[in-house]
Amino acid sequence: MIINLITIYKNFYRRLLRNQLGIVLIPITILLLIGTFGYAYLEGWSLLDALYATIITVTTVGYGDLSPQTPGGRIFAIFFALSAIGMASYAISTLAARVIEWERTRVERTTLEKRMRTIENLQDHVIICGASNIGRISGFYFSRARQDFIIIEADEDRLRRALLYLDVEYLRKKFGGYYDIANAVDVTEDEQLSLEKLAEKIDIPYLLAEPTEDSSLIAAGIGRAKGVVASLDSDERNLFTVVSARALSQRLNNIKLRIIATVLDDKNGTKLQVAGADQLVMPEKGSGQQIQMSMMNPRLADFALRTSVKGTAGYALQQLKNDPAASWINQTVSNLSAEKKLVVLAIWRDGDYLYSPSSDTQLQAEDELIVFAASQDRNIFGQISQSLTK
């Protein structure tokens, strides 16, 4: 029995020492005991009177109705008051810091739970692995196309830059000053926002985690995702991400998961494809093609840019997925164009494109259509329309 009590006491004492409050409570308790028994012994007061005198000394109230009368009691009161006031000040500041820390922890926990609920509710979304230049630019266009996505990045500063890049209001304030210096707006407040506040402001979920880890992809909802973009800062890390994503898609029965990976070195492209990437993107090659088109065919380049994502002129190139139950199956191209006010540019059929199909071409169940239509029609005749740039 005694051994059990000693064990309980030791465990309780260890917990107190590990806890910052325990470090405060132990000296305060000892101080109260010293004051109470010191006054009781030196002044002959009852324990209640001695405790009362101790409390008013520690709290610096000093009513004056009870004071030491003996020389020994007064000397004791001098040293005790100095010690007690210092200890009380330390205790108050420590408790205040602890309360602030508790509140901050509570807010962070609540925000984290809210963010994780948002991630858990994502369906048919895109997971961007890596907040590199390509990653954040991809996020920008996904956002314009109203495609849900989540960013996974292990580097906090890089993630912050990506979220700021996705904040249209921040971009307007920051870059507007380059052209109108007199009316430049200070963006320091935006740049100092926490990741949680910044993500909540622009309504984009994120994970501050290593994108190549299986646990990160699972937390991002890869089992429910439409696709994964591997846009990390090296081909090696992109390869790890592709391998993990493809393995998880098979394990979680998400076999339609589309994986797009960026390639920095041409010779690594084959490895990424073998690992499971559906499509490779070479940033330098794509930029070169865009420069060439802008130089030699400026109107074509401008048209492609205007219609590639949202359609600044009200129209956009869109991809209509096949659906055997769609109402347009077995119709002709001319009937569909007249009914839906769109232009069919090409049909993906039997592994190849049928360009500029004739008006009497009959649409089949397995066809996928590339059309030019009003960009606001995100759900044309019940079919999900997607930008060609996705």
Neighbours of 103 (CB within 10 A): 10
Return all residues near 240 (Cβ < 8 A) that are at least 6 apart: 212
On whether both 270 and 340 belong to a single domain, the answer is no
Please check whether residue 380 is in contact with residue 342, taking contact to mean a CB–CB distance below 8 angstroms: yes
pLDDT higher than 60, residue 1: no
For helices 168-179 and 156-165, angle between their N-to-C axes, nearest 10 degrees: 80
On whether both 10 and 107 belong to a single domain, the answer is yes
- Of these ranges, 142-151, 193-202, 236-245, 360-369, the one predicted with the greatest mean pLDDT is 236-245
Domain annotation covers residue 149: yes
pLDDT higher than 60, residue 311: no
* Pairing mode, strands 385-387 and 315-320: antiparallel
- Domain CATH for 88: 1.10.287.70
- Of these ranges, 17-21, 313-317, 340-344, the one predicted with the greatest mean pLDDT is 340-344
On whether both 265 and 140 belong to a single domain, the answer is yes
Instruction: Compare 217 and 105 and report the one with higher pLDDT.
Output: 217
CA-based end-to-end distance of the chain: 71
The distance of Cα 370 from the centroid of its chain, to the nearest Å, equals: 34
Domain annotation covers residue 79: yes
pLDDT higher than 90, residue 276: yes
Closest C-alpha among 118, 119, 130, 120 to residue 260: 130
Domain annotation covers residue 195: no
- Domain CATH for 366: 3.30.70.1450
Task: Domain of residue 366: give its range.
Answer: 298-387
Domain annotation covers residue 185: no
pLDDT higher than 50, residue 386: no
Report how far apart, in Å, the C-alpha atoms of 27 and of each of 53, 55, 99 are.
18, 14, 19
Domain annotation covers residue 181: no
On whether both 65 and 132 belong to a single domain, the answer is no
On whether both 136 and 281 belong to a single domain, the answer is yes
The model's pLDDT over 281-306, given as tens digits with 9 standing for 90+, comes to: 988 777 777 787 778 888 887 877 77
Return all residues near 186 (Cβ < 8 A) that are at least 6 apart: none
Domain annotation covers residue 23: yes
On whether both 17 and 104 belong to a single domain, the answer is yes
On whether both 214 and 70 belong to a single domain, the answer is no
Average pLDDT over residues 247-266: 94
What is the widest separation between alpha-carbon atoms in the chain? 116
The model's pLDDT over 173-218, given as tens digits with 9 standing for 90+, comes to: 877 655 454 556 777 888 888 888 888 889 899 999 999 999 999 9
Per-residue model confidence (pLDDT) at position 388:
33
Per-residue model confidence (pLDDT) at position 41:
85
Name the percent of the chain lying above pLDDT 70: 83
Domain annotation covers residue 53: yes
Per-residue model confidence (pLDDT) at position 116:
84
Please tell me the least confidently modeled range out of 60-64, 187-191, 277-281, 319-323.
60-64
3-state secondary structure of 151: strand
Please check whether residue 163 is in contact with residue 202, taking contact to mean a CB–CB distance below 8 angstroms: yes
On whether both 14 and 86 belong to a single domain, the answer is yes
Per-residue model confidence (pLDDT) at position 162:
93
CA dist 165 and 159 (Å) reads 10
CA dist 79 and 34 (Å) reads 12
Please check whether residue 127 is in contact with residue 149, taking contact to mean a CB–CB distance below 8 angstroms: yes
- Of these ranges, 172-181, 249-258, 321-330, the one predicted with the greatest mean pLDDT is 249-258
Please tell me the least confidently modeled range out of 50-59, 242-251, 308-317.
308-317
* Pairing mode, strands 279-281 and 368-374: unpaired
Per-residue model confidence (pLDDT) at position 230:
96
Closest C-alpha among 327, 318, 308, 317 to residue 365: 327
pLDDT higher than 50, residue 380: no
On whether both 103 and 226 belong to a single domain, the answer is no
The model's pLDDT over 129-162, given as tens digits with 9 standing for 90+, comes to: 999 999 999 999 898 888 999 999 999 999 999 9
Instruction: Compare 264 and 73 and report the one with higher pLDDT.
Output: 264
Per-residue model confidence (pLDDT) at position 11:
61
Domain end among 268, 287, 306: 287
When divided into structural domains, the chain yields a total of 3
Per-residue model confidence (pLDDT) at position 74:
81
Domain end among 287, 319, 334: 287
Structural Rg of the chain based on CA atoms: 34
Per-residue model confidence (pLDDT) at position 2:
54
On whether both 271 and 309 belong to a single domain, the answer is no
CA dist 288 and 307 (Å) reads 20
Per-residue model confidence (pLDDT) at position 304:
76
Banded pLDDT at 384 (limits 50, 70, 90): very low
Name the percent of the chain lying above pLDDT 90: 31
Domain end among 287, 322, 350: 287
On whether both 134 and 273 belong to a single domain, the answer is yes
Instruction: Compare 308 and 33 and report the one with higher pLDDT.
Output: 33
On whether both 275 and 346 belong to a single domain, the answer is no
